[in-house]
Amino acid sequence: YDIDPVETWHSDSVVLVGDAAHSMLHHQGQGANSAIEDAGALADALRGAGSVREALARYQAVRKPETDRLQAISRQGWSEEEIEDVFPGQKPADAAPKE
């Protein structure tokens, strides 16, 4: 699904990665790549932080600007109606355009 960017990817002990954090339209093939990059950034953050809370905040600070950019690019040039026409069912029902 194409979802709007999620503001916070973590609680004190739970973290979102991949599509759970930053789902995007699949025509650019960035979903799996982004999830793999998330995993690497999360591992780096956990290795270098003094606490889980600090690591999760560091992970989001590193990855979110890039995934926000990729989500914006994946929508570039597409109206809500075109997204539904070209990628039917790729938006959750409550976010689909109203007719």
What Cα–Cα distance (Å) separates residue 68 from each residue in 17, 52, 59, 72? 13, 23, 14, 6
pLDDT tens digits, one per residue of 31-57: 788 899 999 999 999 999 999 999 999
pLDDT tens digits, one per residue of 6-23: 889 999 888 999 888 888
Phi, psi of 42 (to 5 degrees): -65, -45
pLDDT tens digits, one per residue of 51-91: 999 999 999 999 999 998 888 887 776 777 777 777 777 66
Residues 6+ apart with CB under 8 A from 78: 25, 86
What pLDDT score was predicted for residue 96?
A: 45
CA distance 54 to 75: 32
